[in-house]
Every structure is written in C-alpha cells, then in structure tokens.
Amino acid sequence: MTFKDFNVLLIRLFLGYLFTSSGLCKLTEGQFGQLIGPPLLIQQLTPYGLRTFGFFIAISQVLVGAFVLSQRYSLLGLIMLIPMNLGILMVTISQQWQGTPYVDTIFTLLNILALLYEWNSLKFLIFPEQKPLLFPPKTHHFFPNALLPLLIILLFGICILLSRFTIVATSMVAIVGYGLVYYHVFKSQTFNTFYKSILVMSFLAIVGLTLVTLLHQALPFNPMLIVAIPIFGTIACYLVTCGWQVYTARNSFKG
C-alpha cells in the first residue's frame, strides 16, 4: 500500500466515523459522542412536522457512514455521501453559520478526492464506451473479504435500533463496530510502523470520542482532556510519517 493509498484509507476512515457518529448522536438525542452537529436535529425539526425527516437524515448518515467504513463497499457509500455533504453545505450557507461552511467544504472535498481515487471504476459514467468490469474498485483489491464488511454494516444497523433505548448498549456495539473496522484493515493489509501508529492512535481517538459523554458523567473533570491525547497523537504520528516520506523520497532522488 503506497502513501497515496494510505491517505485515501484515512479519508474513508475519517468520513465513515464522522457520519456514523453524527447520525447516532442525533438518534440518541445528543448523548453519543461525535464531532459534527446539530445533535438535537430531530427535536428541532419536530415542531415543523418534520420529525420523520429528522430520523431519515440520522439513519441515512449512520448507514452511509457504515458503508464507507466497510472499505469493501466504500465506493457505494462515498457516492451516496456526495449529495449528503452538498446538502449539509447548502444548509450551513443558507443559515449563514459562521465558519461551518468552510468545515463542510473540506468534508466535501475529501469526499470528492476519495471518489477520484476510484476514477478508473467510475469514468464509464462519463465515458460510456469504458467497460467498468475491467476496472474494479481499488478497495476490492486491498480488501478482498466480502463478509466482514457486511458484519460491520450490520453492527451499525443494530446501533440504530438500540439508539432509541439505551446509550450504553449503543456505544458498546458501536465501539465493537469501529474495532471490527480496524481489525478488517489490519487483517487485509500489512503496514509499516509509521502507518500502524497512525491507525492505532486514530482508533483510540474514536473510542474516546464515542465514550466522552458517558465519561463526562463519571469523571470529575472534562474527559476531553484525555481524549485530546490520542487526537493530537494521531496528528503528530501523521506529520512524522509525512516527514519520513519526504526524507525517503529525497534520498531516493539523490541515489
């Protein structure tokens, strides 16, 4: 797996987590830890007779995010994520939210980059003479297991059902789902120490963010102080890896 392949893998993991957690946060009325809001969307839409629409948005976010996280079926999830990202972007622009449109623009661009990575599999949509079967998605090559990704999607489907009853069970099943995602990644590919460190730290960050609300109730201090460690650790490991890539490339060029 090249550095380019690894970067796209990180984008898929990030977007998949972002939307599964956002959807589950809405379904649990803000109790599930996540990075983007609004957490109380369903309640905010209820007075306007749009409660069912709020549930549709939340459930769609979880399922689409689960497809992206599955890796094997991520191309389908990334395609479905485009209208969702654009819809969110237009809402933030229309509501004149400060700063949020810029963040959503970044998410949309990451989504587009992940799709461009699979250009050979998608270009038949623009050039009909191309034969898509000759260009299977790269994720099929890197992640040949077809059953494990389905189990990942199923677990997040169970999270949707549990979300209306218990936040503890929802969080635990979600953590199992995220853990299975990373197990699938490590099982499918061999990574060097730099890549492993980024993946491990990012998984710890996801677990911490998932449990942050529950920890807030149990700890006498803000649990984000703990969660921030793996978050910044992920960033630090990534920057070190980038530096290592630049150093290796320069040595190869000189050689």
pTM: 0.92
pLDDT, tens digit, 9 for 90 and up, residues 26-51:
999 888 988 887 888 888 888 888 88
Of the candidates 114, 122, 71, 64, the residue with the CA atom closest to the CA atom of residue 88: 64
CB-CB contact of 14 with 160 (8 Å): no
- pLDDT (0 to 100) of residue 76: 93
- pLDDT (0 to 100) of residue 131: 62
- pLDDT (0 to 100) of residue 15: 96
Kindly compute the dihedral angle of the four CA atoms of residues 212, 217, 220, 221, in this order, to the nearest 10 degrees.
30
Reported as a pLDDT band with limits 50, 70 and 90, residue 94 is: confident
What is the C-alpha separation between 159 and 24, in angstroms, rounded? 8
Average pLDDT of the segment spanning 50-76: 93
C-alpha distances in Å from residue 124, one per residue of 81, 110, 127, 136, 225: 20, 22, 5, 12, 48
Q: Is 209 exposed, middle or buried (0-12, 13-18, 19+ CB in 10 A)?
A: buried
- pLDDT (0 to 100) of residue 194: 94
What is the C-alpha separation between 142 and 196, in angstroms, rounded? 16
pLDDT, tens digit, 9 for 90 and up, residues 190-201:
999 999 999 999
The secondary element (H helix, E strand) that includes residue 186 is helix 167-188
